Amino acid sequence: MSIGAGAHHEGERGFTLIETIVALALMGLLLSALAAITAQWLPNWNRGFGRIQRSELIGIALQRISADLAAAEYVPPNRDTRHPLFDGTELSVMFVRTAMGPNAGPGLDIVRLGETRDQGEFVTVRSRARFTPLAAGVSLSEQTHFGDPVVLLRAPYRLSFAYAGPDRIWKAAWRDADKLPAMIKLTIRDAASERVLSVSTIAGLHVQVPFDCTKADGKCDDDKPDTGDSARAAGQGAKR
């Protein structure tokens, strides 16, 4: 029995020490090649994924800003003023719209979209304040205290505004005008490279004139002061 078992084991062959070392060396080379490929591919994948995420966030921000601007209403600041409460500059815009939000009741809000500093960086923020008739001769910023800030864009992206009337001539500011702008251009730039992103867009406003200017004759009654009730009625009628 022992002689047969010994003869059987003599017919079996295993890996020699040299073959084992060679196999381990080949495996090490293969793993090194895979690690090098992964080190080159993974950062590119992460950058591409990051760009997609940023594009989605920018797209969501622009949709929200465009919807806000489209809902702007022709509401004068008080009974003695005919021009609408609208203050637009290159880096911020303030306007009146129907109150919107889970805790917002019926009424109007003054909405501000613009830049502010957060931890040393520029961020685009939406904030709001309840609309009440403003005192004449006092600036809007002195009478309005905005709250409920919502960050829409963060560095390195910066948002700028431009305004145009029916003539489609773009302006860097829109203040104390008799009408609301017909269009507002939203331009997003990379602050580091100053490159304009392709996701920049144009928002159209639904209302440019007071409600009493939409009569059949197309004329406004300039002698009649606008209390703002007509503009609110127009906004409510549009919602219905």
pLDDT at 228: 43
In one-letter notation, the amino acid at residue 206 is H
What's the rounded Cα separation, in Å, for the pair 183 and 164?
Answer: 5
CB 233 within 8 A of CB 211: yes
Bridge partner list, 170? 164
CB 85 within 8 A of CB 75: yes
Regions of the chain where pLDDT drops below 70: 1-15, 41-42, 45-46, 48-49, 102-104, 211-240
Helix (H) or strand (E) holding 158: strand 157-164
pLDDT at 45: 63
pLDDT at 17: 79
What's the rounded Cα separation, in Å, for the pair 46 and 56?
Answer: 15
Neighbours of 234 (CB within 10 A): 21
